[in-house]
Amino acid sequence: MSYFNIDSIKERTGATNRFDAIVIGTGISGGWAAKELTGKGLRTLVLERGRDVKHITDYPTAMKNPWEFPHLGQVPLELKQKSPASSGHYIFKEETLHFVVKDFEHPFVQEKPFSWMRGYQVGGRSLLWARQTQRWSDFDFEGPARDGFAVDWPIRYDDIAPWYSYVEKFAGISGNKDGLPNLPDGEFLTPHEMSCVEKHFSQQVAKNYTDRHIIIGRTANLTDPKPIHYQQGRAKCQHRVLCERGCPYGGYFSTNASTLPWAERTGKMTLKTHSVVHSIIYDEQKQRATGVRVIDANTKEMTEYYAKIIFLNASALNSNLILLNSTSNRFPNGFGNDSGVLGKYIGFHNYRGRVSAEYDGFHDTTTEGKRPNGAYVPRFRNVYKQETDFLRGYAASMGSSKLGVPTDGMFGEELKDQLSKPSEEGWNISANMMGEVLAKESNHVRLDPNLKDDWGIPQLRMSVDFDDNDMKMVKDFYEQFTEMFTKAGFTNIKTIDTKRVPGNENHEMGGIRMGKDPKTSMLNKWNQMHACKNVFVTDGGCMTSTATQNPSLTYMALTARAVDYAVKEMRKGNI
């Protein structure tokens, strides 16, 4: 290993090293921070530890056919074995390997199994996400206060609702206005259609239950683009369902297709790639952060950059790592860590449960084309009151498909004709749980005292696991969906333990949580550090609890809201 030489830090006073704002990270929240800061006139430095990825030109597999891949979509066994943590992830495929971090290139320490999926390039995991975008409700923000587990959120739905609308209009969210109090409606484009068997299940559930709903998912795919999307250079989703390769049409929302090009047009953005952030610089006399230390990923040379405002958006666990590594006389236990909670109360989602079933009906129907979406079941357990032996609840994503037609020995036109015929068989359907994992102090990350990466930065040591609450939730999921499928006339119902370990769903959160009390939290209601007013964290690290919704839409809204506040406070002279 060849670490940087701290004695070779570049000149501190050069004008090229000074900006109004610094954004660390270019994923979903970092892209939004860049867009909003530059849009408000701030000269903004955006730092990305990986390589540049330009929209369209740097999507090498976007237009490839399955037979054009050397391994027909499979990852060679040797590479899988060298990346045991990430290779079990659904996105670890031949067509996406260029966007996925390999374990052996960026090691970390697992005290318990953890599947940390990372994307070290411009756009980060915004190129790879599943695009599901549900709003939180007050049932979610009030969860910790209601059951007394963890700390109360410093915000409620009304605080963030206008910012949900703001980011939804720009990003482009497809969905249906369902009128559900536990899943607020948003600014939606035309919804996708549920399949006939999903509609049947929805209708049967409505007949048998008053508190459960099967709806079409809400997804960041442009079903009918508006002028704001064309202004971004994006076009209608082609329903190719190849989103994770990078979309040359800009049919789904990503940093690369949307927020970063928008920021670039302002002329206020400076993007620096191959820039590994070592730590945040704290000036004890000024009692504020003055900048960041950055290591060139290739030369290992360290440079310092300075700004009035710093937005930390490196992704939840990397943001924890940067703060833990940012020590000083004022913050010996990590930057802003007066409360001692930094790195603790890590949350994620529980994907252990799946239930599949078959329906003997709709024989004269089939599917046509593809759909980058699925049906969705909002949380229905412990919403209005505590009714189970576990806290919080779960949502579920759903998919369906026609049971196959016989194609043995068929090729060419014969195969094509056969596949276009309605099958005489019925339908298959499955529900996949997404459970809220309680943010516990025992679920934590910390710096390894001995092991370092290629840039001399301590490796992250993870100790995150399921508990009894999670497994009780899985059991209830099995029971409830088995009952729901049975009442709806489905057969061959199977419960499956997916064995998906923490991190396997990409939804790591916490460690830098928001809260009302500086003694028990890191950030206030504006995502601003209690202990250092010019540092903001708006990626997953800021989350106090995880709810049951996919979190990315909330990161976007929190980021836009925090930037608006930060710039106003800066111009008042308060930051």
Q: What is the predicted pLDDT for the residue at 414?
A: 87
Q: Mean pLDDT throughout 236-261?
A: 98
Over 80: is that where the pLDDT of 304 sits? yes
Q: Mean pLDDT throughout 428-443?
A: 97
- Residue 12 domain flag: no
Pair type for strands 275-283 and 269-272: unpaired
Domain that holds residue 221: 18-572
| CATH code for the domain of 509 | 3.50.50.60
Q: What is the predicted pLDDT for the residue at 11?
A: 44
Q: State the Cα–Cα distance between residues 163 and 151, nearest whole angstrom.
A: 23
Window from 81-95, 369-383, 526-540 with minimum mean pLDDT: 81-95
- 436-446 per-position pLDDT tens digit: 999 999 999 99
Buried b (16+ CB within 10 A) or exposed e, 142-180: ebbeeeeebbbbbbbbebbbebbebbbebbbbbbbebee
Residue 73: which residues within 8 A CB-CB, separation 6 or more?
Answer: 66, 93, 94, 95
Cα 473 to chain centroid distance, Å, stands at 22
Q: What is the predicted pLDDT for the residue at 373?
A: 97
Over 60: is that where the pLDDT of 3 sits? no
Q: Which of 345, 393, 333, 286 is nearest to 545 (CA)?
A: 345
Q: State the Cα–Cα distance between residues 163 and 27, nearest whole angstrom.
A: 18
Residue owning tokens 């952030």 = 277
Mean pLDDT of the chain: 95
- Residue 156 domain flag: yes
Residue 376: which residues within 8 A CB-CB, separation 6 or more?
Answer: 132, 134, 214, 215, 216, 217, 218, 395, 396, 397, 398
The dihedral formed by the CA atoms of 32, 189, 131 and 252, expressed in degrees to the nearest 10: -70
Over 50: is that where the pLDDT of 552 sits? yes
Q: What is the predicted pLDDT for the residue at 318?
A: 98
Q: Which two tokens stand for residue 408?
A: 């043995």
Q: State the Cα–Cα distance between residues 518 and 174, nearest whole angstrom.
A: 38
Q: What is the predicted pLDDT for the residue at 124?
A: 97
Over 90: is that where the pLDDT of 409 sits? no
Separation in Å, CA 76 to CA 66, 86, 87, 208: 16, 14, 10, 48
Secondary structure class of 382 (helix, strand, coil)? coil
- Residue 8 domain flag: no
Window from 69-83, 171-185, 274-288 with minimum mean pLDDT: 69-83
Q: Where are the alpha helices (DSSP H) in 254-368?
A: 260-265, 316-324
Q: What is the predicted pLDDT for the residue at 422?
A: 63
Over 70: is that where the pLDDT of 14 sits? no
Q: How many CB atoms lie within 10 A of CB 63?
A: 11
Q: Mean pLDDT throughout 309-321?
A: 98
Instruction: Grade residue 2 by pLDDT with cuts at 50, 70 and 90.
Output: very low
Over 60: is that where the pLDDT of 4 sits? no
- Residue 4 domain flag: no
Q: State the Cα–Cα distance between residues 512 and 197, nearest whole angstrom.
A: 43
Query: Nearest 5°: phi and psi at 295?
Result: -105, 130
Q: Are 540 and 551 in contact (CB under 8 A)?
A: yes
Q: Which of 459, 556, 396 is nearest to 542 (CA)?
A: 556
Over 60: is that where the pLDDT of 558 sits? yes
Over 90: is that where the pLDDT of 30 sits? yes
Instruction: Grade residue 7 by pLDDT with cuts at 50, 70 and 90.
Output: very low
Over 70: is that where the pLDDT of 507 sits? yes
- 140-188 per-position pLDDT tens digit: 999 999 999 989 999 999 999 999 999 999 999 999 999 999 999 999 9
Residue 14: which residues within 8 A CB-CB, separation 6 or more?
Answer: none
Over 90: is that where the pLDDT of 89 sits? no
Tell me which DSSP letter residue 342 carries: T
Tell me which DSSP letter residue 258 carries: I
Residue 334: which residues within 8 A CB-CB, separation 6 or more?
Answer: 323, 324, 325, 326, 327, 342, 343
Q: Which two tokens stand for residue 229?
A: 């999307």
Q: State the Cα–Cα distance between residues 418 and 216, nearest whole angstrom.
A: 29
Residue 235: which residues within 8 A CB-CB, separation 6 or more?
Answer: 222, 225, 229, 249, 250, 251
pTM score over 0.85: yes
Q: What is the predicted pLDDT for the residue at 72?
A: 92
Q: Give the 3-state secondary structure percentages of the chain, helix then strand then coil, rounded to 5.
A: 25, 20, 55
Which residue would you say has higher pLDDT here, 540 or 404? 540
Q: How many CB atoms lie within 10 A of CB 336?
A: 25
Q: What is the predicted pLDDT for the residue at 364?
A: 85
Over 90: is that where the pLDDT of 123 sits? yes
- Residue 10 domain flag: no
* Residue at 341: amino acid letter: V
Q: What is the predicted pLDDT for the residue at 15?
A: 65
- 522-537 per-position pLDDT tens digit: 999 999 999 999 999 9
Q: State the Cα–Cα distance between residues 251 and 318, nearest whole angstrom.
A: 29
Residue owning tokens 């057969």 = 491
Q: Mean pLDDT throughout 40-69?
A: 97
Q: State the Cα–Cα distance between residues 426 and 219, nearest whole angstrom.
A: 27
Q: What is the predicted pLDDT for the residue at 149?
A: 92
Buried b (16+ CB within 10 A) or exposed e, 255-294: bbbbbbbbbbebebbebebbbbbbbbbbeeeeebbbbbbb
Residue owning tokens 């007013």 = 533
Which residue would you say has higher pLDDT here, 197 or 367? 197
- Residue 5 domain flag: no
What percent of the chain has a predicted confidence (pLDDT) above 70? 97
Q: State the Cα–Cα distance between residues 401 and 427, nearest whole angstrom.
A: 6
Secondary structure class of 323 (helix, strand, coil)? helix
Classify the C-alpha dihedral 20-260-172-217 as positive or negative. Answer: negative
Q: What is the predicted pLDDT for the residue at 423?
A: 65
- Residue 9 domain flag: no
- Residue 2 domain flag: no
Residue owning tokens 């996708």 = 192
* Counted domains in the chain: 1
Over 70: is that where the pLDDT of 10 sits? no
Separation in Å, CA 99 to CA 32, 53, 352: 20, 9, 26
DSSP assignment string, 413-478: HHHHHHHTSPPSS-EEEEEEEEEEPP--TTSEEEEEEEEE-TTSPEEEEEE----HHHHHHHHHHH
Q: What is the predicted pLDDT for the residue at 523?
A: 98
The residues pairing with 424 across neighbouring beta strands, listed in sequence order, are none
Q: What is the predicted pLDDT for the residue at 12?
A: 45
